Amino acid sequence: MRTYEQLAEALAGRYRIERELGRGGMAVVFLAHDLKHSRQVAVKVLDQDLGGPALADRFFREIGIAARLTHPNILPLYDSGEAAGRLFYVTPYLEGESLRAWLERERRLKFDDAVSLACEIADALDYAHRQGVIHRDIKPDNILISDGHAIVADFGIATALAADESRLTGTGLVLGTRRYMSPEQALADKVDGRSDIYGLACVLYECLVGEPPSSTGFAILPGSPGARDLTRTLQGVKPSVPRHIVAAIERGLAPLPENRHQRAADFKRALLADPGARKGSRQLLIAAVAGAAVLIAAAVLSRSRAPAGPVHLEYLPLTNFSESATSPALSPDGRMLAFILGESTFYGPGQIYVKQLPDGEPVQLTRDDLLKLSPKFSRDGSRITYGTLGATGWETWEVPVLGGQPRLFLANAEGLTWIGGGAGPSQVLYSEMTGRDVQMRIVTSTETRASHRTVYMPPETGMAHRSYLSPDRKNVLLIEMDYYSWLPCRLVPFDGSSPGKPVGPPRSQCTDAAWSPDGKWMYFSANAGNGFHIWRQRFPEGTPEQVTSGVTEEEGIEMSANGRSFITSIGTRQSTIWVHDARGDRQITSEGHGMLPSISPDGRKLYYLVRAGGRESYISGGLWVADLESGQRQRLVPNFLMQTYDISDDGRSVVFVAADDTTRSPIWIASLDGRSAPRRLVRSDAMQAFFGAGDEVIFAAREAEKNFVFRVRTDGSELRKLMPASNLMGVSPDGQWLAVDVLTGESSDAVMIYPVAGGPPTVLCEKCGPPPSFERGPWPPRVSWSPDGRFIHLDLYQFPYAVPLSPGRAVPALSQSGLRSDAEVAALPGARRIQQEKAFAGPNPNMYAFTKVSIQRNIYRVPLK
């Protein structure tokens, strides 16, 4: 903050600064004299550097919108500007105090005073909402009391503090105050006036009880045990509170906007309603979600065609590493090869190498810990750009081919390719985060992001990662995924005029693509159910043909300049499952690709998946069980390929997610003794499912392009939506707590523990460590509990830990910001580090399962007919 003297000097001639009135979380407030109008005013100077003309323009635009509000319960805005390098705005100076000061002095208000103030605030909100203005930060600090009436201050300020709309609705930035924040605002989702109604319900609750209902802004679920606790608290502290007031507050605190009052005027009417007319209103109905299946017709393509590749010609090796070489790229003249020495064919640890073809020695160009992907040569062949994923999210870096220091080339950019552009600045094609959930779109611009425009915009849960322009510059092949899986490749027009259509093998996972030099063929690296192989399809309407086959897999593809061959990374991978116990480390599986192990509560059985198929999901496999004493193994629930699963504590049942023929992922439940057929529990497009308390199942599923957590009885009844959430990792043994991974679209996610009955979550980590590479298969959840609830297992950063829990607790005592490093996890009382990285927790800290993954790949040139 600049000094008092600097501010006074900057505003001289307009305002005479007299003294400081107070400080808040974002501003310092000064009493000043308006020299032109000879009146006392409050000058609020933002105590943060917003920097840049674009941000300042947005601030003044939003302030201008709010300044047009004229209502007796809204504090007017007189002026705004920039002084001493800070943005400021001017309001009337009101004699009186804030509601916060009143509450700090009295703690609770009289019933009539509280309801009267809430009605006046509702009037102000209703008026502002009808003008299209949302407050976003309703709290006692922003409500002034003047002559006994409520005056709402700071309309438009929260909105003005965002650089653009994506910062308000995207992942990673939450504006507002957590104690009064609606669930959608706390998740950085889109908000409307119903978010302000939530804040007002929090304020009224605090006026009556003396403290807000939540310390983080996550709602108490109506009709749940948490809601009954809210009722008891209200009526225990204020026995005279009418039932219709309790019902109004409960509805205002509903976690889903559609279950709240839809307008602030409705909230006011609920407060003023005749209690007799409201009999039974406290019980709110949460609409059950009817899981109507959406059938997606898939064209049945002939599989009888012979592979188009020259299977009798010998592949030419271009690298010969004992490790793995992936992500090949050719220089424009075809004389140099760039690649990543590392396991992952998507992103992962590794270093950029370059070699002269055919027999030059590989030269290492990078030496750092960044996760890397997709190297490409510049137009003149002098530089190599490559994507990275680090603390600042997706970026593109560049390094000279002849060696030198790598440097940042373009922020918020990944999968970059050079597409020419004539004599002017070079044009590039790349993927960037939009700020909405994990959404990534394909855009084109110059190297400096000039002439920026969108080529393809996927759904909010879609991520378009790689893109390739056709030789005639009219079409683009692109690679995309969603929460569940890589999707088929897509063909879109370069002018962005339509979303295009899927191409390549149908219902496949496509991870890379290329054009033949004449533009007549499209090539794909895709898994159509038998592993990743190279396919091709004649442009634009040909039938997909498989080019390579066999026990190896081929990922990544780069065409030669003459179109007579392509290069790709060819190799194998195997995953075996091991168990650590009192006898040490023991290998349990030796065949197939084992993954997702889980140990029974008594430590006698190991459940796991064996990879198979897999074209509808990152994870797909058959369920097996191994007896850890005898070594006998058995396939369970045949004819189903599962994406996730959870075994009941008694070992009799399994609940699992499995893709169906419509590409949806419903939830099934089955007995493990095979005496009854598996039964579809819900048709929702699900991601994870776990057994909860009693006969409940808790699951995460997508609805209208949003992710939510639901619960349902094991007989399929009482389906209820609980809360919005990005990713469900687990449920505590008593079924009362949920572990949720909040995706940010960056290299780090946030992990929260939520009570099923509603209420504020516990933050475990706000910026956890980056997830492991996809290449090593599905990793353990960041959070899980021992079956007896005595330990919580935390794998938040580099190492896993087992932390003892006090009886009745689901998490250890933590600070509000959670755990920020492995050192802080290790410092928790009784914490024990598990010596095996990425261990799947067992019934106690001395027993766990883990996988050993063997990957070996090299780069080959494959001739074409």
Q: Cα separations (Å) of 788 from 107, 290, 321, 530, 663? A: 41, 35, 47, 40, 37
Give the contacts of 110 (CB within 8 A, at least 6 positions apart). none
Residue-wise burial string across 578-608, b where 16 or more C-beta atoms lie within 10 A, e elsewhere:
bbbbeeeeeebbeebbbbbbbbbbebebbbb
Q: Hey, what amino acid is at 149?
A: H
Q: What span, in angstroms and rounded, lies between the C-alpha atoms of 743 and 804?
A: 27
Q: Cα separations (Å) of 41 from 36, 80, 145, 348? A: 12, 12, 16, 57
Radius of gyration of the chain (CA): 30
Q: What span, in angstroms and rounded, lies between the C-alpha atoms of 816 and 206?
A: 20
Instruction: Determine contact, residues 325/343, Cβ cutoff 8 Å.
Output: no
Which residues on adjacent β-strands are paired with residue 493? Answer: 475
Q: What are 725's two structure tokens? A: 């959430």
Q: How far, in whole angstroms, is CA 490 from its chain's centroid?
A: 23
User: Tokens 């005749």 label which residue?
Assistant: 274
Q: Is 362 helix (H, G, I), strand (E, B) or coil?
A: coil
Q: What span, in angstroms and rounded, lies between the C-alpha atoms of 183 and 706?
A: 14
Catalytic site residue 137?
A: yes
Q: What span, in angstroms and rounded, lies between the C-alpha atoms of 446 and 442?
A: 14
Q: What are 78's two structure tokens? A: 């007189």
- Selected catalytic residue, list 123, 137, 141, 196: 137
Q: Are strands 15-23 and 39-46 parallel, antiparallel or unpaired?
A: unpaired
- Among residues 55, 104, 44, 99, which one has the least CA distance to residue 77? 44
* CA diameter of the chain: 93
What number of residues does the chain have? 865
Torsion (CA) 837, 838, 841, 845 in degrees, nearest 10:
10
The dihedral built from the CA positions of residue 323, 326, 332 and 333, taken in this order, carries a sign that is: positive
Q: Cα separations (Å) of 439 from 413, 431, 497, 615, 688? A: 13, 10, 19, 22, 21
The catalytic site residues sit at 137
